[in-house]
Structure 1
Amino acid sequence: MADGKGSSLLPLPCVFSPKSRQYLAVCAQDGRLRIWNTDSKTLHQEYVPSAHLSATCTCIHWGPCRTIKEGPQRKKRKSEAGQLEEKADLLAMGTVAGTVLIYSTAKGVLHCTLDGGHSGGVNCVHWHPEDSLLYSGSDDTNIVEWDLQTGKMRSKWKADRAAVTSLCVSPDGKLLLSAGQTIKMWDLDTKEVYRKFTGHSTAVTTLHFATTRPPDSSSLYFLSGAAHNRLLSVWQVREDGRDKNSVVSFVLTDEPQHIDLVTSKSKEQAVRLAVVCKDGQLHLFEHFLNGPCKKPLSPSCTVQMSDTKDSPMPIPFLAAALCDESRSVMLAYGNYLQPVMERVDINTPDRHVCLTRNVQTTLSLSIASTVSKVKTPIVNAKSKVLVPGLPGHQAPVKATEKRKKDSDSKEMSIAERIGEIDLQSTALTEKGASQGTPSLQTDNFAVLLVQGLESGDGDILNKVFQTRKDQVIKKTVARLPLPAVLPMVEEITRRLQGHPFTAVFVVRWLKAVLTHHTSYLSSLPDLVSKLGVLYHMIESRVKTFHKLNKLHGKLYLLLTQVATSTGSNKVSDVDHTAKLVYEDESSDEDEASGPEDLVDEDSDNWEEDELMEEDKKAQTDQDEEDPDSRTDSKANGEENMEHDNESEEE
Structure 2
Amino acid sequence: MAAGGGGFGDPLSRAGIPCAFSPHSQAYFALASTDGHLRVWETGSNRLHQEYVPSAHLTGTCTCLAWAPARVQAKEGPQRKKRKSEATETSNQIDLLALGTAVGSILLYSTVKGELHSKLISGGHENRVNCIQWHQDNGCLYSCSDDKHIVEWNTQTCKVKCKWKGDNSSVSSLCISPDGKMLLSAGRTIKLWVLETKEVYRHFTGHATPVSSLMFTTIRPPNESQPFDGITGLYFLSGAVHDRLLNVWQVRSENKEKNAVMSFTVTDEPVYIDLALSENKDEPVKLAVVCRDGQVHLFEHILNGFCKKPLTSNCTIQIAAPGKGKKLTPKPIPVLAAGFCSDKMSLLLVYGNWFQPSIERVALNSKEPHMCLIRDISNSWAPKVETAITKVRTPVMNSEAKVLVPGIPGHRAPSKPVTPQTEDLETKRKLGGNEVSIEERLGAMDIDSKKEKNNLPQTNSFPVLLTQGLESNDFEMLNKVLQTKNTNLIKKTVLRMPLHAVIPLLQELTKRLQGHPNSAALMVQWLKCVLMVHASYLSTLPDLVSQLRTLYQLMDSRVRTFQKLSHLHGKLILLITQVKSSEEESDDEIADKDSDDNWDEDEEEQGSEKDEDADEEDNEDEDEDAEEKEEEENGEDRDGTSDKELNGDSDLDPGNESEEE
Pair 1:166-2:173 in alignment: yes
Q: Is the contact made by 1:254 and 1:278 (CA closer than 8 Å) also made in structure 2?
A: yes
Pairwise mapping of residues 504-519 of structure 1 onto structure 2 (< 5 A)?
A: 504=498
Pair 1:228-2:237 in alignment: no
Displacement after TM superposition at 1:338 (Å): 1.4
Q: Provide the rounded CA distance (Å) in 1 between the counterparts of 2:454 and 2:354.
A: 29
Who is 1:187 aligned against?
Answer: 194
Q: Deviations over 1:500-524 (max 9, x none)?
A: 65455999xxxxxxxxxxxxxxxxx
Q: Deviations over 1:384-410 (max 9, x none)?
A: x5898xxxxx95776979xxxxxxxxx
* Residue 492 to residue 364, structure 1, CA distance change in 2 (3 Å): closer
Structure 1 residue matching 2:541: 3-state secondary structure: helix
Report how many residues are paired: 434
Q: Provide the rounded CA distance (Å) in 1 between the counterparts of 2:329 and 2:214.
A: 38
Who is 1:91 aligned against?
Answer: 97
Q: Provide the rounded CA distance (Å) in 2 between the counterparts of 1:198 and 1:506.
A: 36
Structure 2 residue matching 1:86: 3-state secondary structure: coil
* Residue 180 to residue 455, structure 1, CA distance change in 2 (3 Å): farther
Q: Provide the rounded CA distance (Å) in 2 between the counterparts of 1:491 and 1:177.
A: 38
Q: Deviations over 1:298-335 (max 9, x none)?
A: 11101111111223221111000001223210010111
Q: Is the contact made by 2:12 and 2:18 (CA closer than 8 Å) also made in structure 1?
A: no
Equivalent of 2:34 in 13, 29, 32: 29
Q: Is the contact made by 1:144 and 1:156 (CA closer than 8 Å) also made in structure 2?
A: yes
Structure 1 residue matching 2:543: 3-state secondary structure: helix
Equivalent of 1:129 in 132, 136, 159: 136
Who is 2:426 aligned against?
Answer: none
One-letter amino acid of the counterpart of residue 18, structure 2? P
One-letter amino acid of the counterpart of residue 258, structure 1? Y
Q: Is the contact made by 1:67 and 1:84 (CA closer than 8 Å) also made in structure 2?
A: no
Q: Provide the rounded CA distance (Å) in 1 between the counterparts of 2:540 and 2:280.
A: 48
Who is 2:378 aligned against?
Answer: 360
* Structure 1: segments with no counterpart, 5+ residues: 368-375, 380-384, 389-393, 402-414, 425-446, 467-488, 508-540, 552-650
Who is 2:586 aligned against?
Answer: none
Pairwise mapping of residues 433-582 of structure 1 onto structure 2 (< 5 A)?
A: 459-460=457-458, 493=471, 501-502=495-496, 504=498, 545-547=541-543
TM-score (normalised: structure 1): 0.60
Who is 2:49 aligned against?
Answer: 44
Q: Deviations over 1:336-385 (max 9, x none)?
A: 11111111112251111111110113446989xxxxxxxx65x6xxxxx5
Displacement after TM superposition at 1:157 (Å): 0.6
Q: Deviations over 1:545-579 (max 9, x none)?
A: 3335999xxxxxxxxxxxxxxxxxxxxxxxxxxxx
Q: Is the contact made by 2:140 and 2:153 (CA closer than 8 Å) also made in structure 1?
A: yes
Pair 1:105-2:111 in alignment: yes
Q: Provide the rounded CA distance (Å) in 1 between the counterparts of 2:218 and 2:473.
A: 49
Structure 2 residue matching 1:361: 3-state secondary structure: helix
Q: Is the contact made by 2:9 and 2:211 (CA closer than 8 Å) also made in structure 1?
A: no
- The range that moved more, 493-502 or 64-73, is 493-502
One-letter amino acid of the counterpart of residue 133, structure 1? C
Pair 1:336-2:354 in alignment: yes
Displacement after TM superposition at 1:455 (Å): 7.5
Q: Provide the rounded CA distance (Å) in 1 between the counterparts of 2:135 and 2:165.
A: 19
Q: Deviations over 1:169-210 (max 9, x none)?
A: 001110000000000000000000000000411111100001
Structure 1 residue matching 2:542: 3-state secondary structure: helix
* Residue 455 to residue 88, structure 1, CA distance change in 2 (3 Å): farther
Pairwise mapping of residues 117-266 of structure 1 onto structure 2 (< 5 A)?
A: 117-214=124-221, 215-216=228-229, 217-266=231-280
Q: Is the contact made by 1:162 and 1:180 (CA closer than 8 Å) also made in structure 2?
A: yes
Q: Is the contact made by 1:283 and 1:303 (CA closer than 8 Å) also made in structure 2?
A: yes
One-letter amino acid of the counterpart of residue 339, structure 2? A
Structure 1 residue matching 2:418: 3-state secondary structure: helix
Q: Is the contact made by 2:9 and 2:173 (CA closer than 8 Å) also made in structure 1?
A: no
Q: Provide the rounded CA distance (Å) in 2 between the counterparts of 1:239 and 1:207.
A: 20
* Residue 148 to residue 422, structure 1, CA distance change in 2 (3 Å): farther
* Residue 306 to residue 73, structure 1, CA distance change in 2 (3 Å): same
Equivalent of 1:55 in 60, 64, 68: 60
Q: Provide the rounded CA distance (Å) in 2 between the counterparts of 1:345 and 1:549.
A: 46
* Residue 201 to residue 323, structure 1, CA distance change in 2 (3 Å): same
TM-score (normalised: structure 2): 0.59
Instruction: Say which one has the larger Rg.
Output: 2
Who is 1:558 aligned against?
Answer: none
* Residue 207 to residue 76, structure 1, CA distance change in 2 (3 Å): closer
Structure 1 residue matching 2:113: 3-state secondary structure: coil
Q: Is the contact made by 1:495 and 1:503 (CA closer than 8 Å) also made in structure 2?
A: no
Structure 2 residue matching 1:102: 3-state secondary structure: strand
Displacement after TM superposition at 1:242 (Å): 2.9
Structure 1 residue matching 2:178: 3-state secondary structure: coil
Displacement after TM superposition at 1:156 (Å): 0.6
Structure 1 residue matching 2:168: 3-state secondary structure: coil
